[in-house]
Chain A
Amino acid sequence: MKLRVYAIAYLIFLYAPIILLPIFAFNDATIIAFPLSGFTTEWFAELTQNRALHAAVQNSLIIAVCTAVFATILGLCAARAGAMSDFPGKKGITGFIMLPLVLPEIIVAVALLVILRQVLGLSLGNWTIIMAHVLICTPFSIAILNGAFGALDPSMEEAALDLGESRWSAFRLVTLPLVMPGIISSMLISFTISLDEFIIAFFLTGSNPTMPVYIWGLLRFPKSLPVIMALGTILVALSVILLTIAEIFRRRGVRRAGGTDTGGFL
């Protein structure tokens, strides 16, 4: 089958760079080039001693966790509203909220930089990055949660109301458990996006860089490249694990709500 061969070749193209990561991360040479010279775990050991990197990772984790929580809260509101009655202008409003999905990130970055620095005169810090990341992660959260709410039979919540629950307790007892896998999936995806985001973070980062901004700095020093390879290997492994969990939860969510899987995060 020609198409299958093509699709597999395409997958190899997609994975080519990532496969190189572990190869060079364990390669006993400071230049990133073939031929390989030998096995070492030295680069990973170096990672554990880099104070600046630890601080950057810590920053990124704080930002990513906050982003995941806030983006998912906003996504929950929008997705729940999406599952309710239409009103005039609803499509336009939803489209506007989803806009960051197609907006070039540099536009978001400069717009926020201008308003925060030049107009409001605020100093940059982790919170400015969180605000921007929430903005760009909310559309992803909405897309995931729309799937969870869309698969939900609207009679479920009505049934709970009919059986004597209040609006809030019906949501808490029925809807929330049924969309919980979607919520977890949304948080993991937002976390991953935020952890990895560079273009905006580079503009809005304060005196303490985030992990991608720190990596960007390292890229200029050939000596530090093997360490980046080691770091990249860990990040890829982490991403794969998180995404696998997110995917499992997303599927479980669709199944639990009684729908059929239509695949994909988007």
Chain B
Amino acid sequence: MAKFATLTQDQTRSIKLLGLPLVYALLLLAVPLGAIVLFSFWTQDFMTVDTTFTTANYREIYDSPIYGLLLQRSLMVSGIVTAVTVLLAYPVAYFISFHVHPSKKSIWLFLITIPFWTSYLIRVFLWKVILGYNGVINSGLLQLGIIDEPLTFILYNVNAVIITLAHAFAPFAILPIFVVLEKIDRSLLEASQDLGESKFSTFLRVTLPLSMPGVVGAVLIVFIPTIGDYVTPELMGGAGGKLIANMIQTQFLQLNNAPLGAALAIVAMLCVTAISLIFVFLNRKYLRGRT
């Protein structure tokens, strides 16, 4: 064997093993992603695709107010959903990590993940049943005499989309925060209290900063996929609650304008990525400032 062998046997085997999933991901992810980038610079000419390089699609997205409006609304909805989901999830993750007996933690996590694995479509539809004109909330409130007429602001608008998405992504937010909270050395908290901090200030000065990586993970894992959901806005959003994903879907499946759809998908991706990176960057800076 060479004196300075660059790779050990174990490393070679590891590379070979990773090769199969890598090739699969390259063929089914990298190549298709490259294809839509390429497509976004082409144009749809009735039934055929005109393959001359052009930025026409991007110009159209920039010029027509509808796309900007949808994108803005999408980012806002995703942002609100993320904030609501993570804020609601944090206390639950904290509760399970700090106040649930270790032997019962698994069962709590299991209970939280179960709804996530049950038919997404039907789950979204059920919110319609809950929030609808004759829905659970309205009929309940009517019977109790709290309202005289069914509430209409809870269905077929952005509010309904936000509630439904926040529900759908709940476990995604809880798990990353929980995992990080579990790793916090409990003696750190005792040390903080020993040094004169109250329980609450210990939380603010020790637990919260240490759990920030989990919060960041939760934010990203909720924020990014919600942009791509068209089911919830379609079912819950009504006319004023449509999002960018609906437009992408329409371009591809109904208007048969794949190049414009591809450009929209790429613009949406870039926005999400940019916002995520800014968020991660700000968070790093903020955390470094503290330490």
A163 at the interface (CB under 8 A from B): no
Q: How far is the CB of B276 from chain A (nearest CB, A)?
A: 9
The answer to whether A114 and B35 have CB atoms under 8 Å apart is yes
Closest 4 A/B residue pairs (Cβ)? A104-B228, A17-B126, A111-B32, A33-B134
Q: Give A20 to B226 CA distance when docked, in angstroms.
A: 25
Q: Which residues of A contact B13 (CB under 8 A)?
A: 81, 84
Q: Could you say which residues of chain A place their CB within 8 Å of the CB of B228?
A: 103-107, 199
Among B10, B109, B126, B139, chain A packs the most CB atoms within 10 A around the CB of B126
A232 touching B122 by the CB < 8 A rule? yes
B281 cross-chain contacts in A, Cβ below 8 A: none
Query: Could you say which of B129, B220, B252 contacts A32, with CB atoms under 8 Å apart?
Result: B129
Cβ contacts under 8 Å, A80 to chain B: 17
Q: How many residues of chain B get a CB closer than 8 Å to chain A's CBs?
A: 91
- Find out whether the CB atom of B95 lies under 8 angstroms from the CB atom of A4: yes
- Can you list 9 residue pairs at the A/B interface with Cβ under 8 Å? A3-B91, A90-B18, A108-B32, A115-B35, A118-B39, A135-B29, A232-B119, A236-B122, A263-B109
Q: Which residues of chain B are within 8 angstroms of A112 by Cβ–Cβ distance?
A: 28, 32
Are A11 and B112 touching (Cβ within 8 A)?
A: yes
- Complex partner residue of A20 from B33, B129, B170, CB under 8 angstroms: B129
Set A3, A35, A84, A236: member contacting B119, Cβ < 8 A: A236
The answer to whether B18 touches A219, judged by C-beta atoms less than 8 angstroms apart, is: no
Give the secondary structure class of A's interface. helix
For residue B7, give the distance in angstroms from its CB to the closest CB of chain A.
Answer: 6
Contact assessment for B115 and A110 in the assembled complex, using a CB-CB cutoff below 8 Å = no
Instruction: Indicate whether A93 reaches chain B with its CB closer than 8 angstroms.
Output: yes
Q: Is A207 an interface residue (CB 8 A)?
A: no
Task: Name the segment of B65-73, B153-161, B193-201, B229-237 touching the other chain.
Answer: B229-237
Interface residues of B in 220-258 (CB under 8 A from A): 220-221, 224-231, 235, 245, 248-249, 252-253, 258
What is the chain A residue whose CB lies nearest that of B97?
A263
The CA of A12 and the CA of B245, in the complex, are separated in Å by 30
Contact of B92 among A7, A90, A96, A197 (CB under 8 A): A7
Whether A114 lies near B129 (C-beta < 8 A) is no
Q: Which residues of A contact B (CB under 8 A)?
A: 1, 3-4, 6-7, 10-11, 13-18, 20-21, 24, 31-35, 73-75, 77-78, 80-81, 84-87, 90, 93-94, 96-97, 99-108, 110-115, 118-119, 131-132, 134-135, 138, 142, 192-193, 196-199, 202-203, 212, 215-216, 219, 228, 231-232, 235-236, 239-240, 243-244, 247, 251, 261-266
Interface contact A135-B135, CB-CB below 8 Å? no
Known: A138-B21, A243-B117. A21 touches B110 (CB 8 A): no
**A113 pairs with B17, CB closer than 8 A:** no
Nearest Cβ distance between residue A210 and chain B, in whole angstroms?
11
Q: Which of B11, B91, B105, B123 contacts A6 (CB 8 A)?
A: B91
Which residue of chain A is the closest to B78 with respect to CB atoms? Answer: A104
Known contacts A14-B170, A78-B18, A111-B32: A102-B105 contact under CB 8 Å: no
- Which residues of B have CB within 8 Å of A105? 225, 228-229
Give the contacts of B1-41 with A (CB-CB under 8 A): 7-8, 10-11, 13-15, 17-22, 24-25, 28-33, 35-36, 39
**B25 and A99 form a contact (CB under 8 A):** yes
Residues of A within 8 A of B75 (CB): none
Complex CA–CA separation, A177 to B56 (angstroms)? 57
Inter-chain contacts of B118 with A (CB < 8 A)? 18, 196, 235-236, 239-240
The main secondary structure of chain B at its interface with chain A is helix
The reply to whether A21 and B33 contact each other, CB–CB distance below 8 Å, is: no
Query: Could you list 19 further interchain pairs (A-B, Cβ under 8 angstroms) beyond the known A17-B129, A20-B126?
Result: A3-B94, A6-B95, A35-B139, A97-B21, A102-B221, A103-B225, A104-B228, A104-B269, A110-B261, A111-B33, A112-B32, A114-B35, A134-B24, A193-B117, A196-B118, A198-B121, A199-B229, A251-B106, A264-B109
Do A104 and B245 have beta carbons less than 8 Å apart? yes
What B residues does A266 contact at CB under 8 A?
A: 175-176, 179
CB distance from A217 to the nearest CB of B (A): 11
Decide if B114 is an interface residue (CB 8 Å cutoff): yes
Give B106 Cβ to nearest chain A Cβ, in Å.
Answer: 5
Separation in Å of the A84 CB from the closest CB of chain B?
4
Q: Which residues in B have their C-beta under 8 angstroms from that of A231?
A: 122
Residues of A within 8 A of B115 (CB): 14-15, 17-18
Q: Does B96 contact A (CB under 8 A)?
A: yes
B119 contacts A1, C-beta separation under 8 Å: no
| Nearest CB in chain B: distance from A140 CB, A | 11
| Chain B: CB-nearest residue to A102 | B224
With a cutoff of 8 Å between Cβ atoms, the chain A residues found around residue B265 in the complex are 106-107, 110-111
Decide if B35 touches A11 in the complex (CB within 8 Å).
no
Residue B130 at the chain A interface, CB threshold 8 Å: yes
A94/B18 in contact, CB under 8 A: yes
A224 shortest CB reach to chain B, Å: 11
Q: A14-B170, A215-B122 are in contact. Are A97 and B14 (CB under 8 A)?
A: no
Instruction: Find A21's partner among B95, B108, B122, B225 (CB 8 Å cutoff).
Output: B122
Taking the nearest CB of chain A, how far is it from the CB of B138, in angstroms?
9
Which among B99, B112, B129, B272 has the greatest number of chain A C-beta atoms within 10 A? B129
